[in-house]
């Protein structure tokens, strides 16, 4: 085994080992601490693999079945960030003495499922084979389902069942898409195991059957789009995100959705190459992105529940990322930067909201009042990350949304730009109306502790500074990483 193989295999192997090990600790506290420390160690390995790709080039082993190129390495780095941020808050979110305290058996099961989903999501990213990629996505659905109802109550069970059935059916349709893609390669010079390697499919894109490939892409977009929560397949998303405990919502919103989008972005260059660069596949993504944006804007304006507000904001941002990739060029670059910024802001928002909801004893926006006065750390965490998510200047997402808008106008798609602008402005005004009374004013009645440890302060401060810094200035190495990831979607070789 070479050093490259080890870099590729270790990040997935460690959580696969930690999953059964989660059942060993003698106390609930021990199990939760193992969860946060083990995730930090895995994130470090993932970071190392990602750095290796950006300094040394694509890693590949096992005959191309395992592969990490610029696009997947970028997603691995984002995933490491989201998991490390969320896991750091696991012991705090379920601490003894709070309303959310977990008994030992539940804490151990939580750890096992947490590491299991971590390993499954990594499998999706490091797989070079569309079939194994599908197996990883389905495994992610099954492993994360019970994370939603760590504490069983009617609401969380309802959300879990909806998520399980809607996503299983959706992902089954994605398998039909995978079969159609394999069928389209019948006349291509691909043999046996090579049929579903996307490197092979991309290399022989010219000899794929365009009709079957188009049908396959439609199924893949519907299937993985369901998992990514794109409208109109998003019915499970607001329930699961609002009912899950905060660290789980943070992972769902910060990376689970992006992981499903990644599967679609993987296929896009192959489809575009096989259909002669007609923009057919990109057009589908633009339409779905706009549908998600409009849907989310309507529900954000009408929202009464804090965690559902954040869930619909995720729908909005998945729409923006999909739209950016669909527009291509500078839009794809902006979509990658948007992915990074969203995956920093949304976990921070969910983790802060989780603490505030526990402190005020209610999910309802009208019960969360004067958060800044009640808890400077969590109040500022929620306020600033929400402002960033709304696309307020000078945060990163203002810059990326502007870039996507300019791409749309530059490409002559005035209608697309108009719909995008209208939806984003509606969401901005609608959400701001809700955010201001939550943040400022005299503190409302609290029923629980709202304290923050030194580590919590550092985590929130770092996240907020990162959002600000990304908006003001983009370091050259980061710009290089983003443009290499965007180049993979555009069909170039990194």
Partner 1 sequence: MNAPMEALLVALILSDLALLGSGRLGSCIRTVALQGILAGLLPLAEGGAGFQILLLGATVVVLKGFVFPRLLGRAMRESATSREVQPLVGYAPSLLAGVAILAGAFWLDGRMGGLLRSSGGILVPVAFSMMFTGLFLVVARRTAVNQVIGYLVLENGIYAFSLAAAREIPFLVELGVLMDLFVAVFVMGIAIQRINLEFDHIDSGRLTRLRG
Q: Which residues bind partner 1 (CB under 8 A)?
A: 129, 131-132, 134-135, 138-139, 142, 145-146, 149, 152-155, 157-162, 164-165, 168-169, 172, 175-176, 179-180, 182-183, 186, 192-193, 195-196, 209, 211-212, 215, 238-239, 242-243, 299, 302-305, 308
- Residue with smaller CB distance to partner 1, 225 or 238: 238
Q: What is the DSSP string of 302-325?
A: T--BHHHHHHHHHHHHHHHHHHHH
Q: How far is the CB of 196 from partner 1 (least distance, A)?
A: 7
Omega before residue 347 within 30° of 0, cis: no
What is the rounded distance in angstroms from the CA atom of residue 400 to the CA atom of residue 157?
Answer: 37
- Residue with smaller CB distance to partner 1, 169 or 432: 169
The tokens describing 42, both together, are: 């895995």
Q: How far is the CB of 219 from partner 1 (least distance, A)?
A: 10
């989310």: which residue's tokens?
Answer: 296
Q: How far is the CB of 48 from partner 1 (least distance, A)?
A: 27
Q: How far is the CB of 295 from partner 1 (least distance, A)?
A: 12
Cβ 226 vs Cβ 138: under 8 Å: no
The tokens describing 481, both together, are: 């990483």
What is the rounded distance in angstroms from the CA atom of residue 214 to the CA atom of residue 267?
Answer: 11
Q: How far is the CB of 298 from partner 1 (least distance, A)?
A: 11
79: nearest Cα among 301, 306, 257: 257
Q: Is the dihedral of CA 64, 175, 11, 56 positive or negative?
A: positive
What is the rounded distance in angstroms from the CA atom of residue 479 to the CA atom of residue 491?
Answer: 18
The tokens describing 186, both together, are: 């019948």
Burial class (CB in 10 A: 0-12, 13-18, 19+), 487: middle
- Residue with smaller CB distance to partner 1, 302 or 455: 302
- Residue with smaller CB distance to partner 1, 140 or 385: 140
Q: How far is the CB of 39 from partner 1 (least distance, A)?
A: 23
- Residue with smaller CB distance to partner 1, 167 or 482: 167
- Residue with smaller CB distance to partner 1, 222 or 264: 222
Q: How far is the CB of 61 from partner 1 (least distance, A)?
A: 15
- Residue with smaller CB distance to partner 1, 286 or 431: 431
- Residue with smaller CB distance to partner 1, 155 or 494: 155
- Residue with smaller CB distance to partner 1, 40 or 135: 135
492: nearest Cα among 332, 355, 253: 332
String of b and e for 177-195 (b: at least 16 CB within 10 Å)?
bbbbbbebbeebebeeebb
Q: How far is the CB of 182 from partner 1 (least distance, A)?
A: 4
Q: How far is the CB of 36 from partner 1 (least distance, A)?
A: 25
Helix, strand and coil content of the chain, in percent to the nearest 5, comes to 80, 0, 20
Q: Which residues contact 202 (CB under 8 A, 6 or more apart)?
A: 269, 270, 273, 491
How crowded is residue 314: how many other Cβ atoms within 10 Å of its Cβ?
29
């Amino acid at each position: 085994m070479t050093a490259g193989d080890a870099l590729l295999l270790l990040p997935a192997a460690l959580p696969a080992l930690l999953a059964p090990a989660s059942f060993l600790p003698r106390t609930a506290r021990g199990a939760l601490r193992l969860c946060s420390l083990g995730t930090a160690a895995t994130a470090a390995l993932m970071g190392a693999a990602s750095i290796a790709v950006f300094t040394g080039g694509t890693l590949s082993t096992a005959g191309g079945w395992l592969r990490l190129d610029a696009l997947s390495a970028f997603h691995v780095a984002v995933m490491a960030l989201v998991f490390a941020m969320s896991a750091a808050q696991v012991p705090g979110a379920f601490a003894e003495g709070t309303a959310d305290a977990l008994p030992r058996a539940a804490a151990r099961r939580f750890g096992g499922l947490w590491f299991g989903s971590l390993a499954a999501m990594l499998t999706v990213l490091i797989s070079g084979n569309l079939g194994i990629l599908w197996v990883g996505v389905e495994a992610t659905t099954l492993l994360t389902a019970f994370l939603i109802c760590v504490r069983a109550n009617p609401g969380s069970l309802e959300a879990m069942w909806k998520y399980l059935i809607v996503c299983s059916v959706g992902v089954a349709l994605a398998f039909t898409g995978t079969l159609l893609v394999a069928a389209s390669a019948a006349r291509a010079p691909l043999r046996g195991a090579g049929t579903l390697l996307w490197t092979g499919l991309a290399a022989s894109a010219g000899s794929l059957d365009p009709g079957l490939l188009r049908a396959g892409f439609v199924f893949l977009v519907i299937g993985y789009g369901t998992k990514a929560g794109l409208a109109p397949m998003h019915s499970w998303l607001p329930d699961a995100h609002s009912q899950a405990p905060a660290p789980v919502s943070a992972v769902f919103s910060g990376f689970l959705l992006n992981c499903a989008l990644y599967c679609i972005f993987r296929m896009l260059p192959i489809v575009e190459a096989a259909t002669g660069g007609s923009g057919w596949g990109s057009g589908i993504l633009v339409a779905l992105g706009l549908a998600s944006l409009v849907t989310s804007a309507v529900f954000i304006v009408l929202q009464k529940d804090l965690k559902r507000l954040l869930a619909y904001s995720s729908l909005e941002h998945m729409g923006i990322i999909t739209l950016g990739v669909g527009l291509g060029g500078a839009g794809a670059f902006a979509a990658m930067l948007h992915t990074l910024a969203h995956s920093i802001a949304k976990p921070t928002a969910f983790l802060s909201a989780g603490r505030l909801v526990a402190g005020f004893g209610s999910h309802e926006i009208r019960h969360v009042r004067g958060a800044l006065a009640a808890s400077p750390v969590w109040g500022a965490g929620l306020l600033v990350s929400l402002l960033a998510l709304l696309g307020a200047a000078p945060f990163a997402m203002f810059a990326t949304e502007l870039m996507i808008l300019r791409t749309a106008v530059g490409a002559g798609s005035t209608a697309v730009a108009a719909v995008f602008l209208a939806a984003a402005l509606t969401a901005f005004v609608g959400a701001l109306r809700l955010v201001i009374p939550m943040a400022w004013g005299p503190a409302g009645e609290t029923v629980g502790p709202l304290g923050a440890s030194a580590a919590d302060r550092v985590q929130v401060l770092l996240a907020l500074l990162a959002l600000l810094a990304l908006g003001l200035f983009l370091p050259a190495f980061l710009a290089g990483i983003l443009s290499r990831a965007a180049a993979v979607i555009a069909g170039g070789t990194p």
